[in-house]
Amino acid sequence: MSGECANNRQVVKLTGADRVSFLQGLVSNDVAKLDQGLVYAALLSPQGKYLADFFLVPWQDAILIDVDAELATDLLRRLNMYRLRADVALDPLELSVTRGLGAPPEGAFVDPRHPALGWRQYGDDAGAASDTDWDALHVAYAVPRSGAELIPNDSYILEMGFERLNGVDFRKGCYVGQEVTARMKHKTELRKGLARVTLDGSAAPGDEILAQGKPVGRLHSVAGQNGLAYLRFDRAQGEMEAGGTAVRLAEPKG
């Protein structure tokens, strides 16, 4: 089945004998899972805050890093900072990222975040345009995106649903930000986080959400009458509104 070009992506090629161990000590997911396909992961600050999310791609004698183009420069800078004596090299590539729905074509990889997000393929040719509403899919399945829900140096990946989206592994051992992430995992329940909401009328990304006149969160992506919001779960109860329109918490939250 044909796909379309995933705009605003940068692909970085990671080579060298230490490429797996290098990433294993840095990213939120288990790099050993590359033998099963794409690995979705994040780089965190030492304080456990989100810096960048990306796909790791098994690629011949290398690992590709498929990242939002706006995050690529800072991600490369940080990875090179951590490189030290490791036998690795990082090289940006002019490689197209194609995504699509339906049966994956030969050489494509299933998106590990959710089956509804289809597949991704890497090569020299960009896919043709399609009528897939990717914004609506991300909202429907509560999949956060950088620059919208995922805010560098602010977001925590567990609040953003990374466990549900197969973006974090709690058995792989240490990585940057692991201690904070593990503490959040072992809390009885997260107090804040990403949630799906429905809107009775028009509201815009960035609108504050109020309950009984008090702030309880903020609206992020909107697709039709559905949206994603970052909420204080203990306060986001009863009647809520954003931008003058009624807001209801969708179930389940994630």
CATH code, 221: 2.40.30.110
Is residue 156 one of the residues assigned to a domain? Answer: no
Domain total of the chain = 2
Is residue 179 one of the residues assigned to a domain? Answer: no
Strand ranges (E), the chain = 4-5, 9-15, 39-44, 50-59, 62-68, 89-93, 96-100, 109-110, 119-123, 192-199, 208-211, 214-223, 226-232, 240-242, 245-249
Q: Same domain, yes or no, for 124 and 13? A: yes
Q: Same domain, yes or no, for 115 and 20? A: yes
Last residue of a domain, one of 132, 162, 177: 132
Cβ neighbours of 126 (radius 10 Å): 14
Q: Tell me the C-alpha distance between 24 and 111, whole Å.
A: 20
Strand ranges (E), 149-213 = 192-199, 208-211
Last residue of a domain, one of 95, 113, 132: 132
Q: Same domain, yes or no, for 110 and 12? A: yes
Q: What is the pTM of this model?
A: 0.94
CATH code, 68: 3.30.1360.120
Which range marks the domain in which residue 27 is found? 4-132
Please, are residues 87 and 17 in contact by the beta-carbon 8 Å criterion?
A: yes
Q: Tell me the C-alpha distance between 183 and 157, whole Å.
A: 12
Is residue 74 one of the residues assigned to a domain? Answer: yes
Is residue 237 one of the residues assigned to a domain? Answer: yes
pLDDT in tens for each of the 254 residues of the chain? 567 777 799 999 999 999 999 999 999 999 999 999 999 999 999 999 999 999 999 999 999 999 999 999 999 999 999 999 999 999 999 999 999 999 999 999 999 999 999 999 999 876 655 788 999 999 999 999 999 999 999 999 999 999 999 999 999 999 999 999 999 998 768 999 999 999 999 999 999 999 999 999 999 999 999 999 999 999 998 889 999 999 999 865 54
Is residue 173 one of the residues assigned to a domain? Answer: no
Is residue 208 one of the residues assigned to a domain? Answer: yes
